[in-house]
Amino acid sequence: MNPLDRYESLVDDVDAFRAACDRPLPSVVRANGIAASPARVSEAFEEEGVAYEPVDWHDGLFRLPDGNPGGNWPYVHGWTHGQEEVSVLPGLALDPQPGERVWDACAAPGSKTTQIADAMNDEGTVVANDNSLGRISALRHNAERLGVTNAVVTNQDARNYSLKPLAFDAFDRALVDAPCSCEGTCRKNPDVLDQWTLDHVHGVAGVQKGILARAVQATRPGGTVVYSTCTFAPEENEAVLDHVLANEACEIVEFDLPLETDPGVTEWEGETYDESVTRAKRIYPHRNDTGGFFCAKLRVDGGDPDGDGRDEPVDETEVAA
């Protein structure tokens, strides 16, 4: 079975959805503001004869009709980074600020970590964690190539992440761009559809619940946690949010994204989810000619940064801010 068949009831135009999933994904790069402005990147592309098209919904994204995002000197010098359009959405939702302490729980190979560092003007601290030593090498390489200096790289299982080695006891913001079944990446990697199994969906959903729960615990009261995946499966999206809402001190909040989105779903195959999951965003390939994606923004109402199982007292002034 093609796993996309199971999601036809969730989309408004099945034919357009399936046709979009069959088309190759455009090649896209992000301008790295630590090294060069979007305007300077445009000039460099023109000087080098690199064909490009600015993405209209976000300054600093460029589609490269000829592909090969790493085959030019702006990339080599760290001015650009190959990053799928929808991949920038979690960073926009997270909205990190200079000087803050931010956790990227599943960071490798570093596209979102470096985007976060860029948004922070390379000030403050980004703790970029991954549980795979092999993938961490790519994370370190990309951070170094892009000139990021405010990142700390750690190698832990995010489900029981310890802040003890760090110089602080809570994060201001956390991003959980979770490992998933990756159906939304089928435009660039069609093999994911052949490798898909429902058993994997159910197995990885348990991992996602653990990571998101720990992110909420490790973030200060009033802080922000963003959860994202590149799958259409409600088991990995709304069901994960529903679980964490029931077990951690947090709430899903409204937020805007600069793309056409659909709300999260509250029912799926006999299961019902908390009504607030409708505040999450589903991104389908036929809506914006992108990959598929899911994104939700949570506010922490209490927290357990030290992992002792007790909520910390809520500072109402922080929450109000």
- Distance (Å, whole) CA 284 – CA 232: 8
**Residue type present at position 36:** A
- Distance (Å, whole) CA 205 – CA 179: 9
Q: For 263-291, b where at least 16 C-beta lie within 10 A, e where not — what string?
A: ebbbebeeeebbebbbbbbbbbbbbbebb
CB 222 within 8 A of CB 318: yes
Burial class (CB in 10 A: 0-12, 13-18, 19+), 182: buried
**Is 182 noted as a catalytic residue in this protein?**
no
Active-site residue among 182, 230, 250, 295? 230
Question: Between the CA of residue 71 and those of 48, 142, 263, 308, what are the distances in Å?
Answer: 11, 15, 38, 49
Which helix (H) or strand (E) segment holds residue 152: the answer is strand 151-154
Spatial CA neighbour of 108 closest among 68, 146, 141, 148: 141
End-to-end CA distance of the chain: 48
Burial class (CB in 10 A: 0-12, 13-18, 19+), 242: buried
Residues annotated as catalytic (active site), given as ranges: 230
